[in-house]
Structure 1
Amino acid sequence: MDEMDPLKEFLLKYFMPEKCYDELFLNFNFLHVPCLKIVLSKTLGIWIMLGTVLVKLPQIYKLMRAKRAEGLSFISILFELFAITGSMVFCIAHNFPIGAWGETLFIVIQTLIIGFLIQHFGGNTARGLGFLAVYCSLVSLLISPLTPMSIVLMIHASNMPATIMGQLIQAGTNYHNGHTGQLSAISVFLLLAGSLARVFSSVLDTGDSLMTLTCITASCCNGIIAGQVLCYWNRGPTAKEKKE
């Protein structure tokens, strides 16, 4: 029994309350629906958190390895940064503990790196540095007492539409180019998996039809890009595009 204690502690801490542990592991009631919902919800939550932390790393690696950024839309990155920053600033403004938004900060840093690399490998290193400086200045302003809370709330409320717009812009760029360039397939599919997980978690945890619809819309946008990655799998930029 002692050998099971660390496992039980782990399961109770991250996946289920004790009553569900008893139902599943002592009573062997594997069809206990309420407990299955709890376990699924917590599992999806952990997957979303891990996906948020890891989703951009393959993209950064691919850009650094190729030393090119064809196919990545800088405008799409700006929309994505707007959305992520809205959530981060909202949490900071409400003095939430860093555990509630630490992964958001991590994804902001990764997205900033990607934005800089797009400019750097496009021959605009100075513009990339300016982009970083302007972003840091704006964030400093947003989290300062000079910014009314109404503006913070407005930015936070528009994060999902901004995310969707950014994805559609990237999808449009892919379609216009006829390839996905240096877009990382791993990052794309991790993003799709994360958005699908958010659909299920919104259904299980909130039951809010508007939030669920928003998550479904975001998943559809991610699905379009994932479909383009598969469709354009063996295509890349032409020699003329690479030269440019």
Structure 2
Amino acid sequence: MSWLPLFLRAPIVSLIGENCTSIIVDDLNLFEPVCLKYSISKALGLAIVLGGCIVKLPQIFKILKARSAQGLSLSAFLLETLANIVNIAFSVRQGFPFTTYGESLFIGLQNYFITITILVLNGSEWLCMIVAALFVVVSYLLCDSSWTSTHVLSTLQTLSIPVVISSRLPQIMKIHKEKSTGQLSAFAVFNYFFGTAARVFTTFVEVDNKIILVGYLLSFFTNTILAAQMIYYWSPKSKSSKTAPKLKSG
């Protein structure tokens, strides 16, 4: 008999399972290695999914407030959105726990909105409608097994690894070239950095798929570069003022 009320115990069971709930909650064996690692992974996964719900909102608000997409790479968001779609379709059809990929759904929706917004701000309304429709069609085709076989989807998931890297490179190069992060959201960058670090752990614990793990490892690497750039170019005005030569008074 559990000492914890059912309405509190039930959500824990749904998250970590009956066995680990009995060990950790009922028996108060908090440091049982297997369940402890699994529970940490589940907690991190849930936190990542919740973070994914809002990670791009500051970026969206920043774009809308400035009515500018300066400093943002359209190709980066296009590629990242495509990678999100492939990852979601693959994870759903493989039956992976939602806590191991859920943030991809929410981030994908936010990337979808940002991509459309960038196109609109650039005056490409027709291209915006075409891209918006294509993403919807591709999502449907990948999720439907009658259109896309498991083998093809697995291949696409493998190919999405270089796509993820490619989605970051234009943004990294753009920041390096402009020596500024422009309208890029620091919250989004650092959320990605910590999120992918945690996702590497949760994938290692819960998902027996090396392709997914390698993808997150490489994503963590590129996010580390972006985070470093965000820190380095945090205040370009102050840096330029420091390096600017002083004028002698006449």
User: Structures share a fold, TM > 0.5?
Assistant: yes
- TM-score after normalising by structure 1: 0.78
Q: How many equivalent pairs are there?
A: 235
- C-alpha contact (below 8 Å) 1:88/1:105 kept by paired residues: yes
Q: Kindly indicate whether the alpha-carbon contact (under 8 Å) linking 1:75 and 1:166 is maintained by their aligned counterparts in 2.
A: yes
Q: Percent identity?
A: 28
Change (3 A) 1:124 1:91: same
What residue number does 1:87 align with? 87
What is the CA RMSD across the aligned residues, in angstroms? 3.5
Paired residues for 1:66-105 under 5 Å: 66-90=66-90, 104-105=104-105
After the TM superposition, which residues 57-206 of structure 1 pair with which residues of structure 2 at under 5 Å, given as runs?
A: 57-90=57-90, 104-139=104-139, 147-149=147-149, 151-206=152-207
Residue-by-residue CA offset, 1:93-121 (whole Å, 9 max, x unaligned): 7899x999876454333212111221222
Give the aligned partner of residue 14 of structure 2. Answer: 13
The whole-number CA distance in structure 2 between the counterparts of 1:116 and 1:8 is: 43
| AA aligned opposite 1:131 | V
Structure 2: distance between partners of 1:228 and 1:64:
23
Amino acid at match of 1:173: K
Residue identity matched to 1:169:
P
Which amino acid in 2 is paired with 1:56?
A: K
Amino acid at match of 1:226: A
Change (3 A) 1:19 1:131: closer
In the TM superposition, what whole-angstrom CA distance separates every residue of 1:129-176 from its partner, at most 9, and x where no partner exists? 343244445556666789553544432332222112111221111111
Contact 2:100 2:199 in 1 (8 A): no
> Relative to structure 1, is the Cα distance of residues 94 and 200 closer, same or farther in structure 2, using a 3 angstrom cutoff?
closer
CA distance in 2, matches of 1:208, 1:143: 19
Deviation at 1:26, TM superposition (A): 5.0
| Unaligned runs of at least 5 residues, structure 1 | 237-244
TM-score by length of 2: 0.76
Secondary structure (helix, strand or coil) at the match of 1:119 reads helix
Say which is worse superposed, 105-114 or 65-74, in terms of deviation: 105-114
- Provide closer, same or farther for how the CA distance between residues 69 and 82 of structure 1 changes in structure 2, counting only shifts above 3 A: same
Matched residue, 2:236: 235
Match of residue 39 from structure 1: 39
Structure 1 pair 173/145, CA: closer, same or farther in 2 (3 Å)?
Answer: same
Are positions 1:222 and 2:233 aligned together? no
| Cα distance in 2 between the residues matched to 1:153 and 1:24 | 36
Cα distance in 2 for partners of 1:94, 1:42 equals 18
